[in-house]
Structure 1
């Protein structure tokens, strides 16, 4: 089964309605397409040149009065769209950005470096791991405590505001409550609270 899709993009005017008698200019990437146009064609083989500006009818580019595709040899190009009164509707300096070819990720050096990891053999291997436990083992991420229950040993340190427990031994059989300003056993501090097991 194949789902039908609109094969041609729609061009809208500034009110969001289908653009009639629009004018579309295609030019050198990063430049004003009206001042630096590039050749565009009606066929994939680029033998039938289309004159600029390209015209629209009902929101689609037309060749005469028939919807048509337009082709260019350039991998990247700029585009300006004007309405029937020659008012600018839109301008994009790069078709790569406009098409979303590299907008899947924000342009950030850290994120770009992270994304590049998936193109290395190590990164690709991470994508084939069976489950989260295998991912933790491969990356050295420690296991977190289970949501319901679990055991642990040693003291628990806490950062930030609020009170927390200070346990006197690894068995957690006794402890004291103290504020975050105390970084050691608060036995000499006034107002400490002792927890002791019965018996």
Structure 2
């Protein structure tokens, strides 16, 4: 009975994924303005942004970009708390693919848990195998140094937006929400002002002109 229910669920899900993919592909084909894509969006949706999950865009596969985008190229990618779920070498592959399918001057905004956060409770929550939601699938804990290095290896210039340094000092450079909204950030996450002081390491990767 369990195997039958599992088979029925898989049959039901296939058309849903196809419908989502075809809808996204149609929107991209018709797009004549900024093309902005959320990677690993889960249920996140923002105005003027197209939300994708791995079923529609697998950033580790060139063929997935080609199938979804065709000849179109992306102005902005956004990935909030996605790359901590990807192994280091795979992150480089995924970012190189993003770079390849972006317009010159385009950006990818990445937010991940911050490995230099000075609160040990925060680190215990977000580290691989930590007690926080989703941390059982975290592959690594980035710092501004290691995330910058990954982006640079993928061919991007780096612009630091929010991060802690080695001394535990918080740094903030102004950024616009419309260029890629990050909920888990100093401005938009109320926990930043609570004892935990929750924040994200946020960096823009910029493709060369």
TM-score by length of 1: 0.20
